[in-house]
Chains A and B, each alone.
Chain A
Amino acid sequence: MTSDSRSRGSRRGRRFALLLAKREVKGAARRVGVYMLSTAVGVAAIVSIQSVRDDVSRAITDGVRETTGYDARVTLRGDAADRMTPVLDSLRTAGARVAAVEVAGFGGMARGKTGGTPRIAMTNRFSPGYPFFGNVQTDPPGLWTGEIQPGEAFVDRPLMAQLGIAPGDTIMLGAEEYQVVAGVSRIPGGVAVLSMLMPNVYTRLDETAPADGAPAARSRAPEYRIAFSDPAEAPRFKEAYQEEEVRITVTEEVIAEVQPVVENLGELLAMVGLVALLLGGIGVASSVHLYVKEKRRSIAVLRCLGSGQWTAFWAYMVQALALGAGGAVVGIALGFGVQTLLGAALEGWLPVDISPRPSGRAMMAGAGMGIWVAAAFAAFPLLQVRGVSALEALRRDSGVKSSRAKGDVWAWVIRLLAGLSIPAVWLVAAPVWQVGALFGGVLLGTLGALSLSGWAVTALARRLTPRKGWFALRQGLSNLFRPGNQTLSVTITMGAGAFVLGLVVTMEAGVKRVFELGGGADLADVLVANLEPGQLDSIKALFPDNTERDIAFVQLGSVGARVAEVGGRPAEELAADSGAGVTEEAVLRTYRISMNDDRPPGVAIVDGAWWESGDSPAPSVEPVRPDGPDEAIELDEASESDEPPADIVTIMSLDATIAGELGAEVGDTIIWRARERRIVAEVVSLQEIEDPPGEIGGIGNLAAGSGAVAGNFRPAPGLAELGGGEESALIDIPDYETSMIVQRQIASVFPNVIIIDFSWAMDLFRRGMAAARAAVTFLAAFTALVGAIVLVATLAGSRRAREAEAALLRTLGAAKGQVAAVLVTEFAALGTLAAAAGLALSAVAAGPLLAFGALRFDDPEWGTLAVVWAALTGLSVLVGMTGNREVLRKPPLPFLRRG
């Protein structure tokens, strides 16, 4: 044969392959549907996850200005104001907006003009135009025009509630009088602890002196807030001017704090998206395998008629690529749709505005991945095409293999390339290769374990199917080892889906736990301080229906104390020998220690355990008495007795950082000095104050008062008296409006009580938590959808056999109910075994995988996993019965004739 004739033959073969591919696709709508869906859903998962991550990252970057209200904040001390004024002027000239903001210190008193009890408030004076970014939410809405007029004030709604005033009323700030324009429920920059501790009043600040020469209404040096025309200038400005007396905070620092959280979660989500795509790949392989099986006779006929081995292979590979590309396009569209929906859903939850925008990066990745999945996963089953003998056209089971099937170098090259491409793409697509390798390794191990499980199920079903008992049960179970059955492939695909779902469920729980560490659902909204003994009970009595309103109270009290001994070593000795991390400052400083029966919100135990109600309040050491009068008491009060008072004995939970600075561990006894008493306390646990978004963690201990917060004592006789008789309490209130009512009531009845409102920060925090959980739940739904499609594709592989069997049973006299029972038994057994295997493996793998995402993992969520297990079993039955519904609906003859 000449090279010319070979070349012509090759061209004819390619033309024929394309023609055949076109004709075959036209005649196989169902297969095309399953195939494209398998690819499309996987691609959609990738595109939507990546796009939403881009959206959220962009929203945080763009939205941080809306959250803070500025690009840079400048605080000046000493004579820095003189040095910085020209700098600020030059910034104005260069197009930046500069505003002065004066924040009054603690303790300013506000009251209504008509009388009533004054309340502590912070006065914030702004230059016109500030805040530069973001919205100020007012009640009535829309009254913030960007410029507060002289003599007017905006007031935080909690303060209005406490003072009992309304818009239009007059508020007195000291001797100054302002007309209240509106209440403020949200204002940019209100996330710092200090601005939340006190209710705020916002008035106008004029930087320049009035024309009459009177001094400007300024009580202290203002801060300056700057909006640059290009926000990237902010860090350069900080680098140039930051010094001891000039403190500059830029919003980029806020982004740097938040972004890693989004990135971590995004990486985990992206990995699970990849798994979804891989599952789609299994669906593709399953669908192609089934198709080739059905087409063997046609391929053999083509071979009889002179078609080459590669012609048939390429005819089907072209179809696979075309369908993969189609699936990718559908997937990209679907992914963008999901991105838009998810963006809309998250918009109400996140503190920043998310504007869904098509991500070119995500689309390119989706298109590439879709075509790759189609080609790589179709290649393995398609290579069977080359092994189809022309003899099969004459007799189905010819027993003849193609002479080229075994030693076919090109077939092995294709297998190798397709096989290697899977880990290669996996690692490239993984956000961090180490995470990809870990996920890949776990997944590979899981698939291996699932293969073993599938094999074991088949083998055991054959041996253990009962010989007696209900016919439908026995027949259904025996179907698990039907020759050519899909038990193994269903166990692998469904098990893999269950594995991913199990991981997502555990991840969702991990996200929840991360937030719960900061207090979670029991995080309080309002702090009431300065309570006199017994006053808390009176406050509680104001809300007799608090169970209906779900208002919860946590009582707080604290003691000021210094360290006297740690583990038997006197403070003076410790201070002098400050090795091994022990610091002199830590030994000598004054601490505030709360007294609590219950663990306050925001306190996380990192070693040991919080005390239970039955625990002994006494440490396992002998109490000691001081030899003489206490010399190192900060809160000294003259003792009226010559006899030194007895020691107070209790147990405590110590701050982990302070424990390190004092060289103390769980089990050590620390002797504290408070007033003239010694407190002998065994350290039973170490704690950390968790800081959830908004710097509000550990507000229970934060509210304990001035001084370093060292932890908690268990209340013991005599301890409360050292607290100075004052108490405070945290109140957890379910919604903002109820919070207003509660505050108004407390303020009107108990004028002495300080009320600090955390509602907005709590709201922000809860929204963040809800958004993270919504994202993970969305992913779970996506994985379930991919799993269902793959299950359809896999079960379709044995649908014909099942239909033929069911039709036969109907022919032999089985009622529909009996046939349905057989099928339900089979699908339920398949589903329950595959799901159990996958979920069990996910429980094993969850720990190391979640650790990579910086998520907390304690125990598998057995309850939720059980629900997922039942749901997957139900899904298996549903998909199986839907696929075989025709045989129950129609007479059996058509199925028998087909078989």
Chain B
Amino acid sequence: MIKAQGLGKTYMSGGLPLEVLKDVELTFESGSLSAVVGPSGSGKTTLLGLLAGLDAPSAGRVLLEDQDLTAMSEDEKARFRAENVGFVFQTFHLLASLTALENVLVPLELTGRAKKAADSARALLERVGLGGREGHYPAQLSGGERQRVALARAFANQPRILFADEPTGNLDHETGLGVAAMLEQMNRESGTTLVMVTHDLELAERAERVISLSGGRVVADRAGSGSNGASGFDGRRSDEGRS
């Protein structure tokens, strides 16, 4: 479970304070699938960064699985992420000097589990349809393939929480749908809490919950179509495997 309590973030811009997130109160239940939407500059990515401990809030706190993230040091937060959190980014963020398999193994390397988990990393690549491409470098993969490698990496350490920042933002519609479906399916299979930031309202609607931000405030928090198990990101029912 993720809890944001009175969360706020202020940046200094041109010598003046700029409040990009104000008094946000949110709770994400374990295993839930939530989408955060809003116009550019509404504070979506800032919220995601604060929830994941990638940035420090100016006000309030974040509880991840009952642990106060804001009270942790940078290294403690990093350790927490290595063991509990996965990420998917709009621009993939793969390490260009590592092969697909090595990229998937990075979170495991950081926790010293790479030796035991090499097979499961290969299985994950198989799972995302990239079996046989383990030795390819990011530059040798298409955008959709890179994002699938990123998906495999995100699930490599079996995270309890997954943050996705515009996971289909750099992909064409068709490829984006495929990646979204894969993300949703893997999430349901592993029972991970997924928080996804997106501009794509169609994609957001298929989440269980849709949170709208505007001017740094939560202006709407409602159920999405995914809440009744009516549809997944690929338009098919896919509630099997949910715990």
Question: Which residues of A does B touch, CB under 8 Å?
Answer: 471, 475, 478-485, 801, 804-805, 808-818, 891-894, 896-897, 899
CB atoms of B81 and A812 under 8 A apart: yes
* B89 contact set on A, CB distance < 8 A: 896
* B53 contact set on A, CB distance < 8 A: 891
Q: Which residue of B lies closest to A472 (CB)?
A: B109
Q: A891-B55, A897-B45, A899-B91 are in contact. Are A478 and B74 (CB under 8 A)?
A: no
Contact of A483 among B78, B80, B96, B111 (CB under 8 A): B96
* B80 contact set on A, CB distance < 8 A: 813
Q: Which residue of A lies closest to B115 (CB)?
A: A468
Q: A471-B110, A893-B55 are in contact. Are A813 and B79 (CB under 8 A)?
A: yes
CB atoms of B93 and A896 under 8 A apart: yes
* A483-B97, A891-B54, A893-B46 given; 20 more Cβ-contact pairs under 8 Å: A478-B97, A478-B102, A481-B97, A483-B96, A484-B96, A810-B78, A811-B52, A812-B81, A812-B82, A812-B87, A813-B78, A813-B82, A813-B85, A814-B78, A816-B78, A891-B55, A896-B49, A896-B93, A897-B45, A899-B93
Q: A809-B106, A810-B78, A813-B85 are in contact. Are A894 and B93 (CB under 8 A)?
A: no
B201 close to chain A: CB less than 8 A: no
The answer for the CA separation of A894 and B13 in the assembled complex, in Å, is 14
Number of B residues contacting the other chain (C-beta, 8 Å)?
A: 36
CB atoms of A815 and B78 under 8 A apart: yes
Interface string of B156-187 (1 = CB under 8 A from A): 01000000000000000000000000000000
* A478 contact set on B, CB distance < 8 A: 97-98, 102
B139 close to chain A: CB less than 8 A: yes
* B98 contact set on A, CB distance < 8 A: 475, 478
B28 CB to closest chain A CB, in angstroms?
19
Pairs A–B under 8 Å by Cβ, sample size 9: A471-B109, A804-B93, A812-B81, A812-B110, A813-B81, A813-B83, A891-B53, A893-B46, A896-B49
Interface string of B109-152 (1 = CB under 8 A from A): 11100100000000000000000000001010000000000000
* B91 contact set on A, CB distance < 8 A: 899
Q: A891-B54, A891-B55, A891-B74 are in contact. Are A815 and B93 (CB under 8 A)?
A: no
The answer for the CA separation of A485 and B56 in the assembled complex, in Å, is 31
The answer for the CA separation of A809 and B74 in the assembled complex, in Å, is 13
Interface centre among A483, A817, A893, A899 (most CB of B within 10 A): A893
CB atoms of B106 and A891 under 8 A apart: no
* B81 contact set on A, CB distance < 8 A: 811-813
B66 close to chain A: CB less than 8 A: no
The answer for the CA separation of A815 and B77 in the assembled complex, in Å, is 9
Q: A805-B95, A812-B82, A812-B87 are in contact. Are A896 and B54 (CB under 8 A)?
A: yes
The answer for the CA separation of A891 and B102 in the assembled complex, in Å, is 24
CB atoms of B110 and A893 under 8 A apart: no
B63 CB to closest chain A CB, in angstroms?
18
The answer for the CA separation of A813 and B109 in the assembled complex, in Å, is 10
Interface centre among A801, A811, A812, A899 (most CB of B within 10 A): A812
Q: A478-B97, A816-B74, A896-B93 are in contact. Are A811 and B87 (CB under 8 A)?
A: yes
CB atoms of A815 and B79 under 8 A apart: yes
* B107 contact set on A, CB distance < 8 A: 812-813
* B79 contact set on A, CB distance < 8 A: 813, 815
* A804 contact set on B, CB distance < 8 A: 93
B240 close to chain A: CB less than 8 A: no
B205 CB to closest chain A CB, in angstroms?
26
CB atoms of B75 and A816 under 8 A apart: yes
CB atoms of B54 and A893 under 8 A apart: yes
A50 CB to closest chain B CB, in angstroms?
45
The answer for the CA separation of A105 and B96 in the assembled complex, in Å, is 86
The answer for the CA separation of A893 and B46 in the assembled complex, in Å, is 8
* A479 contact set on B, CB distance < 8 A: 97
* A484 contact set on B, CB distance < 8 A: 96
The answer for the CA separation of A887 and B204 in the assembled complex, in Å, is 32
Q: Which residue of A lies closest to B46 (CB)?
A: A893
The answer for the CA separation of A280 and B242 in the assembled complex, in Å, is 63
* B95 contact set on A, CB distance < 8 A: 475, 805, 808
* B52 contact set on A, CB distance < 8 A: 811
Q: Which residue of B lies closest to A479 (CB)?
A: B97
Contact of A809 among B54, B75, B96, B110 (CB under 8 A): B110
Within B38-90, the residues touching A (CB, 8 Å) are 45-46, 49, 52-56, 74-75, 78-83, 85, 87, 89
The answer for the CA separation of A503 and B176 in the assembled complex, in Å, is 58
Closest CB pairs A-B (n = 10): A813-B82, A893-B49, A893-B54, A893-B55, A813-B81, A471-B109, A482-B97, A478-B97, A891-B55, A815-B75
* B49 contact set on A, CB distance < 8 A: 891, 893, 896-897
The answer for the CA separation of A801 and B54 in the assembled complex, in Å, is 18
Q: A813-B79, A893-B49 are in contact. Are A808 and B110 (CB under 8 A)?
A: no
The answer for the CA separation of A816 and B98 in the assembled complex, in Å, is 20
CB atoms of A814 and B82 under 8 A apart: yes
Q: Which residue of B lies closest to A805 (CB)?
A: B95
Contact of B110 among A482, A818, A891, A892 (CB under 8 A): A818
The answer for the CA separation of A480 and B87 in the assembled complex, in Å, is 26
The answer for the CA separation of A465 and B82 in the assembled complex, in Å, is 24
* A809 contact set on B, CB distance < 8 A: 106, 110
The answer for the CA separation of A230 and B109 in the assembled complex, in Å, is 82
B158 CB to closest chain A CB, in angstroms?
13
Q: A471-B110, A893-B49, A896-B89 are in contact. Are A811 and B54 (CB under 8 A)?
A: yes
Contact of A813 among B55, B56, B97, B111 (CB under 8 A): B111
* A814 contact set on B, CB distance < 8 A: 78, 82, 110
B5 CB to closest chain A CB, in angstroms?
19
A11 CB to closest chain B CB, in angstroms?
35
Q: Which residue of A lies closest to B52 (CB)?
A: A811
The answer for the CA separation of A483 and B95 in the assembled complex, in Å, is 10
The answer for the CA separation of A672 and B91 in the assembled complex, in Å, is 93
Q: Which residue of A lies closest to B87 (CB)?
A: A811
A469 CB to closest chain B CB, in angstroms?
11
* A810 contact set on B, CB distance < 8 A: 74, 78
CB atoms of A891 and B56 under 8 A apart: yes
CB atoms of B93 and A808 under 8 A apart: yes
Interface centre among B53, B75, B137, B139 (most CB of A within 10 A): B75
The answer for the CA separation of A874 and B212 in the assembled complex, in Å, is 51
* B111 contact set on A, CB distance < 8 A: 813
Q: Which residue of A lies closest to B137 (CB)?
A: A483
* B75 contact set on A, CB distance < 8 A: 815-817
The answer for the CA separation of A815 and B106 in the assembled complex, in Å, is 13
B58 CB to closest chain A CB, in angstroms?
13
* B96 contact set on A, CB distance < 8 A: 482-484, 801
* A813 contact set on B, CB distance < 8 A: 78-83, 85, 107, 110-111, 157
* B74 contact set on A, CB distance < 8 A: 810, 816, 891
The answer for the CA separation of A484 and B137 in the assembled complex, in Å, is 14
The answer for the CA separation of A95 and B52 in the assembled complex, in Å, is 93
The answer for the CA separation of A478 and B102 in the assembled complex, in Å, is 11
The answer for the CA separation of A897 and B40 in the assembled complex, in Å, is 13
A485 CB to closest chain B CB, in angstroms?
8
B140 CB to closest chain A CB, in angstroms?
10
The answer for the CA separation of A485 and B137 in the assembled complex, in Å, is 15
Within B189-211, the residues touching A (CB, 8 Å) are none
Interface centre among B53, B56, B74, B97 (most CB of A within 10 A): B97
The answer for the CA separation of A481 and B98 in the assembled complex, in Å, is 10
CB atoms of B106 and A812 under 8 A apart: yes
The answer for the CA separation of A399 and B87 in the assembled complex, in Å, is 30
The answer for the CA separation of A470 and B163 in the assembled complex, in Å, is 28
* B114 contact set on A, CB distance < 8 A: 471
The answer for the CA separation of A716 and B1 in the assembled complex, in Å, is 99
B32 CB to closest chain A CB, in angstroms?
22
The answer for the CA separation of A897 and B80 in the assembled complex, in Å, is 21
The answer for the CA separation of A44 and B204 in the assembled complex, in Å, is 61
Interface centre among B78, B107, B139, B157 (most CB of A within 10 A): B78
Q: Which residue of A lies closest to B91 (CB)?
A: A899
* B106 contact set on A, CB distance < 8 A: 809, 812
